[in-house]
Structure 1
Amino acid sequence: MKIFDSHTHLNDTPYQGKEADYIARARELNVVKMAIVGSDTALNAGALDLAAKFPELYAIVGWHPEFAKDYDPAAETLLLQQLQQEKVVALGEIGLDYHWDTSPRDVQRQVFARQLTLAAQLNKPVSIHSREAFDDTYEILNASKVCDFGGIMHSFTGDDHEVQRYLALGMYISFSGMVTFKNAPEIQAAAKVVPDDRLLVETDAPYLTPAPYRGKPNEPGYTYYVVQKLAELRETTPEHIAAVTYQNACRIFGVAP
């Protein structure tokens, strides 16, 4: 069984200097590839460094909506350079976050749309963050013609009806440890209806630790428990979930399996 953690932050502070240990621990749980996701200048640089150092790691770089207020022409120039590096597999995480509102919403929307334009120009898939902003996220994605270059709804939190809108855009749907939470019936309902060829798994570590480790620090290896829960919900085997999500991640990221 091989698992691909399609969205993790091994470039974040809790893992600094211990990345090799966490990669080894993940391998013990059959997690053999990871996409390391940036959010701003520092985290983008960290994702690139790790992807260059470890063959099983890939980088995703972009500007998170929380930091949209800091996105300027200099940031865009650097981002364009980074997106053309060999192991950069997507632009992200980008999108909208109306929960924290650390950047003005109109600025978030402008920066989101601008980065989608870059993705279209470079034909790079996108990794989408959407929190309490599903309607605006959908409208901006739809206007961008994301179906032409592809994308992922990372750590999806909608229900079985909401997910259909994004599937219709051609998006992949990624589930994090939240799908294991007892108080997440809507997410679990969505997880049951996503077609096999559009399904992904992730940890979003160090956030959203899955059961049975909820409340403790998360790590990329725990994608294993997301796979286990999806197998239970979809009435299939963990081996099947691991296989289809691994193939899907390789396909959307353009990575050799």
Structure 2
Amino acid sequence: MIFDTHAHYDDEAFDEDREDLLGSLQSHGIEAVTNVGASIKTSKNTLELTEKYPYVYGAIGVHPNETAELDEDKLNWLKENSKRKKIVAIGEIGLDYYWEEPDHDTQKTWFIKQLNLAREVKLPVIIHSRDAAKDTLDIMKAEKAEDIGGVIHCFSYGKEMAREYLNMGFYLGIGGVLTFKNARKLKEVVEYMPLEQLVLETDCPYLAPVPNRGKRNTSLNLSFVVREISMIKGIPEETIMEITSRNAKRLYALV
């Protein structure tokens, strides 16, 4: 059984068949999913999904590109709702310099505040970092993020950066990008890293793996990612599923 550690099933891409799809996951080998908030609105959506489906857990937080919406009241809302039983992480939070909105200082301010929130409520973090490798790592080291723990979502950097995060005790989230032809760097990271720090994720509806690249992604596609990891590491697919599921439960304190 596979644990999808990062999904966005509240996305409008699932409006037509969300109930049927989520209802079918366990019969197709998906034992659990963590739905991840990226704004206050999607964090509220996440709470609703966790209440409806016993095998859906939640993370609440505000994505770097949405941090202009944050203020102390909204941060307090995150704090209060992080106490709910099925909320297992603060995220996704971090830095994203691919888009220039909001400005970098705003992103950094709320990244630090959300890191401190996670420390206060004793939950791991889900880190989003895009085109911001140095600043993300610098902030995490300055804030002693190794004491918080968590996962680097959709890991997209090279082996040197992977080593930094692995040494801090973080998990790396690996998904459909691993199957892309131009994913040489990421394949090298997966070959190098210990399987005990790897978790599977879709980021659905985005980043569907080959052979479904460009289509709507779902947790059902994770079998293609498992196959790729199996080929890279020379480990049976069943072992990959077993270890990554155990990793996910350890990451989210479900064991």
TM-score range (shorter-chain normalised) is over 0.9
Verify: 1:27 aligned to 2:56, yes or no: no
* Equivalent residue, structure 1, for 2:239: 240
> How far apart, in 2, do the equivalents of 1:254 and 1:82 lie?
17
> How far apart, in 1, do the equivalents of 2:27 and 2:206 lie?
21
> How far apart, in 2, do the equivalents of 1:131 and 1:26 lie?
30
Aligned residues: 255
Q: Is 1:95–1:128's contact at 8 Å kept on the other side of the alignment?
A: yes
Aligned sequence identity (%): 34
> How far apart, in 1, do the equivalents of 2:198 and 2:19 lie?
28
* Equivalent residue, structure 2, for 1:127: 126
Equivalence map 1:78-227=2 (5 Å): 78-227=77-226
Alpha-carbon offset, residue 210 of structure 1 = 0.5
Q: Is 1:22–1:221's contact at 8 Å kept on the other side of the alignment?
A: no
Alpha-carbon offset, residue 30 of structure 1 = 1.2
> How far apart, in 1, do the equivalents of 2:107 and 2:133 lie?
14
Q: Is 1:25–1:221's contact at 8 Å kept on the other side of the alignment?
A: no
Alpha-carbon offset, residue 25 of structure 1 = 4.1
Alpha-carbon offset, residue 226 of structure 1 = 1.2
Query: For each residue in 1:138-163, what CA deviation from the matched residue of structure 2 results, as whole angstroms up to 9, or x when unmatched?
Result: 11111221222211000101122220
Verify: 1:72 aligned to 2:108, yes or no: no
Instruction: Give the aligned residue type for 2:112.
Output: A
Q: Is 1:68–1:111's contact at 8 Å kept on the other side of the alignment?
A: yes
Alpha-carbon offset, residue 213 of structure 1 = 0.5
Query: For each residue in 1:206-242, what CA deviation from the matched residue of structure 2 results, as whole angstroms up to 9, or x when unmatched?
Result: 1101011111111122122111111111111111111
Instruction: Give the aligned residue type for 2:162.
Output: V
Give the SS at the match of 1:204. coil
Q: Is 1:207–1:218's contact at 8 Å kept on the other side of the alignment?
A: yes
Q: Aligned Cα RMSD in Å? A: 1.2
Instruction: Give the aligned residue type for 1:88.
Output: I
Q: Which moved more, 1:171-180 or 1:26-35?
A: 26-35
* TM-score normalised by the chain length of structure 1: 0.96
Query: For each residue in 1:117-146, what CA deviation from the matched residue of structure 2 results, as whole angstroms up to 9, or x when unmatched?
Result: 111111110000000111111111112212
Query: For each residue in 1:151-203, what CA deviation from the matched residue of structure 2 results, as whole angstroms up to 9, or x when unmatched?
Result: 10001011222200111111101101001101110011111111121110100
* TM-score normalised by the chain length of structure 2: 0.97
Give the SS at the match of 2:25. helix
5+ unaligned residues in a row in structure 1: which ranges?
A: none
Give the SS at the match of 1:55. coil
> How far apart, in 2, do the equivalents of 1:222 and 1:24 lie?
16
Instruction: Give the aligned residue type for 1:137.
Output: T
Alpha-carbon offset, residue 16 of structure 1 = 2.5
